[in-house]
Structure 1
Amino acid sequence: MIGSKIFNIIDIRNKYYNDLVMTTEVRTTEAAFLLNISTGRLRILLQQNRVVGAYKFERFWMIPLNSRGVPEITSGRRGPQGTWNKAERTGNTFVHVLRKTIDYNRDNKTSHPAIAVKVGGKKDYCHALKINGPCQIVYQPHQPNNSQAGGARLWIEVEPQHIVERIYFSDGDYGPPPEVTQQRQKKKEKSKKSSQKKCLRKSKKKS
């Protein structure tokens, strides 16, 4: 009896995702979720006619799924290769709040995105989130999550079958938040200094 109950719970959790993947067409929100990109980015791809087989039905975009259960995106003529998801989602979504960005926005009257969303190796930033399904809040005061939540000790974790819709302020600031930019700059400076030290050591050895 216990075993059957466990399987029933798993079936219920996976039902929505399986139904989503088994359908032949989805709308914009579901397609963005499957691709692990924002709806805004997907709309740009739709405007560029890069979503294979997409068409408008009344006011809504209808987007077909390929054999892997995700929308097919054609490569662009210029720029780097797209980082959207090309296969079925398997990893959990990790969400954490950027406290320093909240303080920065308050002090500087800005509206940088203060929510970090990570799926696999890809991280994105947004102003708000809509989680369509259950999730859990994890708190590890002495074990920060460095691998998935940017060193956060408190984060939200969502299983892959549940849609996490990213929302952006129409009048908000975009791009990486200030604290992320600062962290990247520090890493660059640190690597630059270490490379300079290595060069000095090599030159000393030669002399």
Structure 2
Amino acid sequence: MGTKQASILLGISRQRLLVLLAQGRVKGAKKNGRFWKIPVSKSGMPRIIPARRGPEGIWRKQQAKKAQMIHVNQHNIQGNKGKPPEQFQPVVSLKDSKRNDYGYELYISGPCYIVYRPYKPANCGAHVWIETYEAVQFLHTEFNLDPSTAREPSKQLGLV
């Protein structure tokens, strides 16, 4: 596999994975021209050789069960046109293995990627969605009718 797929599986940034590759700490990885070829173990994960000093690595040791899927429902967007705001339907859905949660805004706390599969859509029929193995937090599950009182997501999450 390549560096993008390996970094997503390990739960680390691509830049951190490139550092580990340069240090020779990814077991069996070979550079082919400009690109890295990273083998996977029986568990489906790249193997990282721990360092002798410093803090323990924060990469994922086992593959996550299944990625969470974030989908923007275009049918609800179309259905909300012409309705008063208090009747709006949520347009963002978080699909986990057993349930669906709906809201208007969400925050993804780690790496994620956008998937576009026009010839193999998801079970719900979506052709484009976001996948992540990280925690996802809904910021708004109710539509805010007064934009002047809406809080900025960066302040809400304590990022500012």
For the pair 1:115 / 2:89, whether they are aligned, the reply is no
Residue 3 of structure 1 is matched in structure 2 by: 27
For the pair 1:152 / 2:126, whether they are aligned, the reply is yes
Residue 198 of structure 1 is matched in structure 2 by: none
**Among residues 133, 140, 146, which one is paired with 2:117 in the alignment?**
140
TM-score by length of 2: 0.50
Residue 168 of structure 1 is matched in structure 2 by: 140
The answer to whether the 8 A contact 2:113-2:130 is kept is yes
Q: Deviations over 1:83-115 (max 9, x none)?
A: xxxxxx733210110001112222213332101
TM-score by length of 1: 0.40
Partners of 1:143 and 1:151 in 2: CA distance: 9
The answer to whether the 8 A contact 1:98-1:115 is kept is yes
> Closer, same or farther in 2 for the Cα pair 1:122/1:169, shift >3 Å?
closer
Partners of 1:153 and 1:120 in 2: CA distance: 18
State percent identity of aligned pairs. 29
Instruction: Report runs of 4+ in structure 1 exceeding 3 Å deviation.
Output: 169-173
**Among residues 60, 63, 69, which one is paired with 1:14 in the alignment?**
60
For the pair 1:128 / 2:84, whether they are aligned, the reply is no
**What is the SS of the residue equivalent to 2:126?**
coil
Matches within 5 A, 1:31-110: 90-110=65-85
> Closer, same or farther in 2 for the Cα pair 1:12/1:167, shift >3 Å?
same
- Size of the alignment, in residue pairs? 95
Of the two, which has the highest radius of gyration?
1
> Closer, same or farther in 2 for the Cα pair 1:136/1:171, shift >3 Å?
closer
Amino acid across the alignment from 2:96: V
Bigger fraction of residues in helix: 1
**What is the SS of the residue equivalent to 1:101?**
helix
The answer to whether the 8 A contact 2:91-2:102 is kept is yes
Residue 58 of structure 1 is matched in structure 2 by: none
Unaligned runs of 5+ in 2: 1-23, 30-45, 50-56, 146-160
- In the TM superposition, residue 3 of structure 1 has moved relative to its aligned partner by 1.5
CA-atom RMSD, angstroms?
2.9
The answer to whether the 8 A contact 1:138-1:154 is kept is yes
The answer to whether the 8 A contact 1:112-1:172 is kept is no
> Closer, same or farther in 2 for the Cα pair 1:124/1:170, shift >3 Å?
closer
- In the TM superposition, residue 169 of structure 1 has moved relative to its aligned partner by 5.0
